Amino acid sequence: MCGICGIASSTGPADPERLARMSATLVHRGPDADGAITDGPVALAARRLAIIDLATGDQPIANEDGSIHVVQNGELYNYRELRADLERAGHRFRTHSDTEVLVHLYEQHGLDFARHLRGMFAVAVWDSAQRRLVLARDRYGIKPLYYRSSQTGLEFASELRALPRGEVDLDALEAFLAFNSIPAPLTIFREARKLPPGHMLVWQDGDHRIQRFARPGPAAAGELRSDDEAELVEELRARLRDSVRAHLIADVPVGVLLSGGIDSSALAALAAEASSEPLRTFSIGFEERSFDELADARLVAEQYATQHRELVLRPNAALLLPALAEAFDEPFADSSALPTYLVSQLAAQDVKVALSGEGGDELFGGYYTYVADLLAQRVGGLARLARPLVELLPSSSARASFDYKAKRFARAAHLPPLERHHGWKEVFSPEARAELTGRGSAFDPVDLLRERYAETEGAEPLARLQDVDFGLYLADDLLVKTDRASMAHSLEARVPYLDPAVTNLAFVLPRRQRVRGLRKKVLLRKAVAPLLPQEIVRGKKRGFSIPAAAWLRGELEPFARETLSRETLRRQGFFRPEAVQRLIDRHVAGKEDLSRRLWGLLAFTLWHERHVEREPAALSSERLEALVR
């Protein structure tokens, strides 16, 4: 696991001093070592978090004659098999690292090298003989890669902070307000872009092109598996076990971020079975009981005798929000980043690698929205008629409250499938965005969802919606959250559900094995049932969420009003102060749960202060300790 960056100059030799400054911004991603190479127009650098081949695995790494150099952020779980094949083909290795496989794989297969990789990666390959720079990002988007192209050349990095700032992209801001995150290829700056998952960028002769090399997704409706359920249960359990074993490969201790839900609990169970030593597990809880899952996590920890550590987050989260703004170098408003940040900090005290459960919901049908999608097909018209009464329901601060779900359902149930699905989760509607910003926009962020949706025509209807979540929400929200929150503490987070061993089966499951009536994750629950306490297998989905609605009506309200003051909003110039004040007042009065909107506005404002206005946002260790007990 590392942070990588580089320069490809169209006007002369690459600037090594500029490269060093870029690399310095990524030290948190790789505090163990740093390296760089400058070769004419191209310069590459890496900050290393040493996980595999601790002694000789520093980067950049070259081939035998030094004509090809590579830097990598990530881990390759099939590198031993690939190395054996390459050695039989005559390639010679100097290290035992997974990264060295990349140079020889590129020599052997050229631009097709990325198709052979099993793992999470963002890679840069410099081929000096062909004067060609190749960037590639893994098929799921687990590892990030940003780039900035101009007339003088191309720059790339693992994080946006390493690239020059530019003007705020108002289309990206529209997307952020709609989704609470910014989907690829957009970034918050107009001049910078994200390389999408499963894509490759090839720079040569001062120009670049982007091409897709992998596109995981659902099978056509006629290609779904029709096996007996018992056989599918056994196969899924075996595939999960294979993936977890692969993800445990490391020369340092590996732990599990254990939320108490079925996804992370299954990982903990399988990892404990495969480990020769007691597994380390880490959990976080809340003083608000409806949001606390520590008791469930303890059940798993006790069953497998793990070395278990936990924290309880207090509601004075105002101290932590500036630290999140520092860790996330573009606006990011998924409030579950807060507990993810803290549990990563906890885990980093004991391990350098931790398994995390991202991907299970999108692959196996774990969200309530999928049940709502099916229900709306039957009662969408009635829900629309009932909307005036539903809107009168008082707002609750409880997790996944009935009034919140009912209002969301009534507002969107009558819409076409994709728009309806987005409606369950939409943060600011187009009308709300216009009222907030005082601007109209010709850009519709939902078009990004429509593009993804159009690619799966012919697949089963619910699978198409899951694929939209897989390609955008998972890649641009959940995986961004996990990467930034973990790497802020120099912790490598691995996601075993996002492995071909698992996804290749998940994408061919019929709907009844994913969502059946009100039951979610049907096949996954049956596959892991023998491994877990029944309270976990039968438990309701809670998600890694925080009591944001209650906090913003209580201890966090003064901080929100101060951060979103009229003076600050006028200075930044993006949001109308009177519109923001109405949102705060309406939420605090209990008229509607607007916590997701307010959290987003807080996230953007704090991000702007830190990364545009350059105001400090770091936390001292003393202040951070006040957050937990």
Helix axes 294-303, 262-274, angle to 10 degrees: 20
**Structural domains of the chain in order of their starting residue, each with its CATH number:** 2-212 (3.60.20.10), 221-364+478-537 (3.40.50.620)
Distance (Å, rounded) from C-alpha 429 to C-alpha 251?
A: 48
Residue 546's pLDDT is what? Answer: 81
Percent of the chain with pLDDT over 70: 93
What's the whole-number mean pLDDT along residues 151-164? 97
What's the whole-number mean pLDDT along residues 438-449? 95
DSSP H/E element including 193:
strand 192-194
Residue 376's pLDDT is what? Answer: 86
Residue with tokens 């101290």: 319
- Which has more pLDDT, 401 or 481? 481
Residue 118's pLDDT is what? Answer: 98
Residues pairing with 520 in the sheet: 515
Residue 440's pLDDT is what? Answer: 87
Residue 373's pLDDT is what? Answer: 93
Residue 412's pLDDT is what? Answer: 78
Residue 292's pLDDT is what? Answer: 62
What's the whole-number mean pLDDT along residues 247-265? 95
Choice among 1, 2, 37, 270 that is catalytic: 2
Per-residue pLDDT tens digits for 304-345: 999 999 988 775 667 789 999 999 999 999 999 999 999 999
Q: Is the pLDDT of residue 625 over 50?
A: no
Residue 629's pLDDT is what? Answer: 34
CB 323 within 8 A of CB 341: yes
Q: Is the pLDDT of residue 535 over 60?
A: yes
Tell me 395's DSSP state.
P
At residue 91, the 3 state secondary structure works out as: coil
Distance (Å, rounded) from C-alpha 185 to C-alpha 193?
A: 5
pTM: 0.94
Tokens of 393: 């329901």
Residue 607's pLDDT is what? Answer: 97
Q: Where are the beta strands (DSSP E) in 10-152?
A: 33-39, 42-48, 61-62, 68-76, 119-127, 132-137, 146-150
Tokens of 400: 């996944």
SS (H, E, C) 597-609: HHHHHHHHHHHHH
C-alpha dihedral, 607 to 610 to 615 to 621, nearest 10°: 100
Closest CA to 47 of 63, 81, 66, 71: 71
CB 456 within 8 A of CB 463: yes
In sign, the C-alpha dihedral spanning 46, 33, 97, 130 is: positive
C-alpha separations of 406 from 222, 224, 371, 398, 415 in Å:
35, 33, 13, 14, 15
Q: Is the pLDDT of residue 238 over 70?
A: yes
Residue 410's pLDDT is what? Answer: 75
Q: Is 5 a catalytic residue?
A: no
Residue 315's pLDDT is what? Answer: 55
Length of the chain, in residues:
629
Distance (Å, rounded) from C-alpha 381 to C-alpha 116?
A: 48
**Widest CA span of the chain, in angstroms?**
74
State the pairing for strand pair 2-9/353-355.
unpaired
At residue 184, the 3 state secondary structure works out as: coil
Give percent helix, percent strand, percent coil of the chain, each to the nearest 5.
45, 15, 35
Per-residue pLDDT tens digits for 168-205: 999 999 999 999 999 999 999 999 999 999 999 999 98
Distance (Å, rounded) from C-alpha 522 to C-alpha 520?
A: 5
Residue 229's pLDDT is what? Answer: 96
What's the whole-number mean pLDDT along residues 456-480? 97
